[in-house]
Amino acid sequence: MKTLIYSARAFEIPYLKNANNNKHKLIFHKKSLSEDTVQDAKDFDAISIYSADKADFSILKQLQQFGVGHIALRSAGYDNVALSSAKKLAIKVANVPAYSPFAVAEHSVCLLLALNRKLLKAQARIKRYNFKLDSLTGFDLNKKTVGIIGTGAIGSVMVKIMHGFGCNLLGYDIVEDQTLCDTYNLKYLSLSELCEQSDIITLHVPLTAETHHLIDSNLIKQMKPGVFIINTARGAVLNTEAIIKGLEENSIGGLGMDVYEHERGLFFKDHSQNIPEDMLFKKLNELPNVIITGHQAFLTKEALMNIADTTIYNLTCWSKGQSTENELTTEI
């Protein structure tokens, strides 16, 4: 199957080539899928895209006209694809539903620890040979209450990790996992109750109409003063303006984020010579109690291998005229 790999990055190409093992003709394209680059997909059977790529109705219609019948996502999230439009246009779409929940959950903990123990500030001092400890005080995670929003594949790993720290665990999900309750003493509450009781809140939900701006000014008002929020899910799960206000008013004690509401066109690129005029991001980036990483929570060797293997598997199924259990358009 002749496939154009959009948003191909140097760190993932070797994994894709190894997984492919000459099964399909892969062409790697550095640019992301957009109105400006969709014409590059002419004469391809399939394309592969990442979460920063745009696949709305207009782009999907052009892909169909070019003869593209398949889209292999290299991500679990698919909010960037108009799935209902893809089905109407007979374009099959599949994702990588579980590449490594450990990678994302562990990165969430990394953000929490770095934020709590002021590691970036401490490291900057050490680089200047300043070994003073003033204003570097954190808190024990032991016995703190952690609210985990979304207890699926990633959230359940987060439950296990935070249980190891000796935390009191609260959960919120539309589907409750009784095994987590029995094994790790997780207690499910309403979203409001979780926010009221948690010292730390971590987010592990997909972006849907229901979760868009899930954390808004109303919920922030219900949170404990000084709460820490960790988001490795999707940027738009947080209302960015409300979060900034909470940080500036000290109602939110700290924010660790690997995703950003307006990250498309910003993340995965070097803007050091031409800083974008994104005032919300600038505000976040300037706040001392915020740690930001650029959508790298998935970035482990194991995750890259799993993403590549599943992407090639999806393409191979289609090339043989078979369906794949990872197809998303069959559910619309």
Catalytic residues: 234, 263, 295
The DSSP code sequence of 204-255 is -----TTTTT-B-HHHHHHSPTTEEEEE-S-GGGB-HHHHHHHHHTTSEEEE
SS3 171: strand
Residue 316: strand, helix, or coil: helix
CA distance 302 to 99: 8
Residue type, 330: T
Q: Which helix (H) or strand (E) holds 111?
A: helix 101-116
Q: What's the residue count for the chain?
A: 332
Q: How many angstroms separate the CA atoms of 98 and 181, rounded?
A: 22
First to last CA, the chain: 25
